[in-house]
Amino acid sequence: MVGIDVAVVFFTAAAIMILSFLGDLVSRRILLPNVILLIVVGVVCGPVLLLFDRMMLLSVVPILAPLTIAFIGFDAGLGMDLYQVLAQSRRALFLSVFGFALSACVIGVFLHLTFSIRWAYAFLLASAWGGVNTATVVAVSKHLRIRTKSLTTLMMSSLIDDIVVLVVALELLNYLTLGELGVWEVGLQLVRNFSVSVFVGLVLGVAWLHVLHFSRRTKYVYTFVLAVALGVYSGTELLSGTGGIAIFIFGLILGNCRSVAKSLRLKVDVDELAAVKELVGRFHSEFTFMITTFFFVFVGLIYVWTGICTLLLGLAVSLLLHGARVIVVKVASWRSELADDFPVIGLIVGKGAASAAVSTLPLAYGLPNTEVFTSVALNVILLTNIASIVLPVWIARRSRLGRW
């Protein structure tokens, strides 16, 4: 029996990975965000054709969702040049933070007033949909002639979005899991949680630069780095911190190793350290791609049709997100070159891996009404990505014809 169970698990994992690869391959051919086809493939093979055991898949959610967040957080830290973001693209930072805040507020208030659910839960769900998917930006740019500066700003903003989504959502989740504590106790717990996460990420990140420099010429350096990164995540959780935040800080230190080493005057060869960082980044991007594409198909497999009301709710949330995005881009593009590409870039609001991973956290932690809100989340992800392709292209064509 054990052998059969293991075989079923291995076959399921292999099938999902193959479907993930095929879905991504097709999406590249037709220039659509891979999230659309990957989720559709999952829905067809899961709830439509019933090729997979849904209960077995649900049992994996508490492991797969945090693992996906860990990989996304570490990858985001590795790929973010913090000094470049702060120095050269303040408009991208403003676009990301203001866009997330407005979207989360609008959707949070809407969910609270519509379903009378508690504010923290409403904002947890809203925060999952507060960012923009980088892959959607890339796909839209292939269909349209967006100015280089506008595209660069959108790309940097979408990268920052993933971090903002993860940090805010994880802290809200911590708040929800604290139980019936008083306001003062909750505040202290959240401060302690965030402080522990940042402290562990910073201290181990800086310490790891020395270890990485010492082991820079070893053959399997990425395996060593990945092991330590997962250790940072799990260790932070054991210390009552948030592993997703700690692993992002850890990756951020490693990703900015040259600047950090010079600022702290560490006795390391920054050029060799930067070369190792590039090597680690290339390997980790491959693993992150595998995990995230796998996860998109997985989300489709566990989808449950909960009625037309859920679909309409997803549509309403998508419309509100597009409306908030138009306002944000209009404000952020004031007196800049981005204004020349408005309103096209104001309609790019597709959700990606970070949104999908965060949307499954209520299910992973056993929060109420998870079936309904996981279904809504999937509808939002699909609808926003489809609209982010169709609407900008349609408006661009009307503009060229002189109708806008």
Structure confidence at residue 1 (pLDDT): 40
Share of the chain above pLDDT 70, in %: 92
Q: Please name the residue that has the structure tokens 């717990």.
A: 189
Residue 281: pLDDT above 80? Answer: yes
302 phi and psi angles, rounded to 5 deg: -95, 5
**Per-residue pLDDT reduced to its tens digit, 215-233:** 777 778 888 888 999 999 9
**Per-residue pLDDT reduced to its tens digit, 237-253:** 999 888 989 999 999 99
- Please count the CA atoms within 13 angstroms of the CA of 99 that sit on its side-chain side: 34
**Per-residue pLDDT reduced to its tens digit, 191-206:** 888 899 999 999 999 9
Q: Please name the residue that has the structure tokens 């403003």.
A: 94
Residue 2: pLDDT above 80? Answer: no
* Domains observed in the chain: 2-400 (1.20.1530.20)
Length of the chain: 404
369 phi and psi angles, rounded to 5 deg: 60, 30
**Per-residue pLDDT reduced to its tens digit, 26-72:** 776 766 677 888 888 889 888 888 888 888 888 888 888 888 888 88
**One-letter amino acid of 318:** S
* Contacting residues for 299 by C-beta, under 8 A, at least 6 apart: 39, 42, 356, 359, 360, 374, 378, 381
